[in-house]
Amino acid sequence: MKSVVWQSLTEEQRESALERPAITEGANITAAVSDVINKVRTQGDNALLELTEKFDGVRPESIRVSQEEIDAASERLSEKMKQALEQAYTNISLFHKAQIPQPVKVETQPGVVCEQVTRPINKVGLYIPGGSAPLPSTVLMLGVPAQIAGCQKVVLCSPPPIADEILYVAKLCNIDEVYNIGGGQAVAAMAYGTETVTKVDKIFGPGNAYVTEAKRQVSNDFRGAAIDMPAGPSEVMVIADDSAKADFIAADLLSQAEHGPDSQVVLVTPSAELGERVADAVQAQLKELSRAEIAEKALASSLIVIADSIEQCVAISNYYGPEHLIVQTRDPRALLPELDNAGSIFLGDWSPESAGDYASGTNHVLPTYGYTRTYSSLGLADFSKRMTVQELSADGLKGLAPTVVTMAEAEGLDAHKRAVTIRVEALEKGE
């Protein structure tokens, strides 16, 4: 792992040290995805079957997974696996239920009552990537908040064959429909609907470059669907002082590095000596990993930053804005009020990122790539929308009328003024 001393860098060197690699989607991905979307919009289910055969190498018997198949999956799973998934489900449910907002109701001036009410987004689509191993944890992270928000229709797409773990969690989360479809074609199907696939209002979930580009394209079309948040490579930053255990930190850095060769991994510490021990521990642990090759590629662009102080570590983290931030210092909670621009924060020696990735209760769908400055950790709010309500009494309107009339005059909007004066005149006439 490369190491830099922050204090010795110029402003430009600092920016460059923490700069994220540019995401350069070729124009060919844009065009290929646009073709796939057009095909799905015009040819519906036929296009889905054809594209699935082409990209996933299987032509599923049916696009929709039947209830029998879902039930059969649950019978094949071990009790141990079911218990683990249920424990994670319980914890994630508890944390997301705690996010149910308080109703807001205020009488701003006599007779003028303003409210904020929350409603579930009606129809949501969850995308679960395929790949070498199934990702039931992502089904939990999307399915649980959709269930708690009360979305009327929740559908799930994943490339076939869909693993038993995914089907089991889909059942736990009461997902209405599961489809054997992946890639850009799945995103297109959920955004526009086909004979079989329900059109949804918003699409959630991670995916490869094609899925990401498809989400971008359908979210730029008002007839398409909204999406959860912009995507980017996964990241972890660790802030640690000399009280931290080097092998714990190394394990945390590696658990990020194994995600993919583009994973970003940064340690920030005021202790150069800890930095060296962590670098050694990473090398030692790396050898034992089945995904060592992937992790090694990610580590090639990883970084150890030696800072002047813990305060400077915090400033560096707030500037970088990491997706995951692990704090292993003598008193990690004392730093929390100063921490900003992070997706999810892990406090102390006993809070590894993998706890949150799977089962502590927090969501693992997080803003990355610097989007932590403006986007939030996925939560109940993303499956809901807020509407405002106002109710004025006759006296309330009379009291507010002079303010509205004066402002409407200033803005040159006669009819706005008239909507108030016509009512006040009616009141004065005793109508």
Does 315 participate in binding its own copies (rule CB under 8 A)?
Answer: no
Is 352 in contact with 245 (CB distance < 8 Å)?
A: no
Q: Taking the mean position of all CA atoms in its chain, how far away is CA 61? A: 32
The answer to whether the annotation marks 364 as part of a ligand binding site is no
- Give min distance, CB of 8 to its own copies, in A: 26
Please, what is the minimum distance in Å from the beta carbon of residue 153 to its own copies?
A: 12
Q: Is the peptide bond before 159 cis (omega within 30 degrees of 0)?
A: no
Window 118-147: residues binding its own copies (CB under 8 A):
119, 121-122, 132-137
Of the CA atoms within 13 Å of residue 251, those in its CB half-sphere come to 13
Q: Which two tokens stand for residue 334?
A: 């004392």
Residue 427's alpha-carbon distances to 367, 394, 398, 424, in angstroms, are 53, 8, 9, 5
Which is nearest to 54 in space by CA: 126, 131, 160?
160
Q: How far, in Å, CA of 153 to CA of 383, rounded?
A: 12
Q: Which of residues 183-222 bind its own copies (CB under 8 A)?
A: 201-202, 216, 220, 222
- Select from 128, 141, 186, 254 the one that contacts its own copies (CB under 8 A): 254
* Contact predicate 392/112, CB 8 Å: yes
Residue from 31, 284, 334, 407 that binds its own copies (CB under 8 A)?
407
Min dist. Cβ of residue 370 to its own copies (A)? 7
User: Where does this chain touch its own copies (CB under 8 A) — which range of 30-38, 41-49, 179-187, 371-379?
Assistant: 371-379
Q: Please identify, using beta-carbon distances, which residue of 56 and 382 lies nearer to its own copies.
A: 382
Which listed range, 27-35, 179-187, 205-213, 223-231, lies at the site for its own copies (CB under 8 A)? Answer: 223-231
Q: Catalytic residue at 323?
A: yes
Q: Which of 336, 359, 355 is nearest to 94 (CA)?
A: 359
- Tell whether residue 430 is a contact of its own copies (CB under 8 A): no
| Secondary structure of 90-156 as H, E, C letters | HHHHHHHHCCCCCCEEEEEECCEEEEEEEEECCEEEEECCCCCCCCHHHHHHHHHHHHHHCCCEEEE
Residues in 77-96 at the binding interface with its own copies, rule: CB under 8 A: 80-81, 83-85, 87-88, 90-91, 94-95
Does 11 participate in catalysis according to the annotation?
no
Least distance between its own copies and beta carbon 210 (Å): 18
The residues assigned a catalytic role are: 323-324
Residues in the annotated binding site for substrate: 234, 256, 259, 324, 357, 411, 416
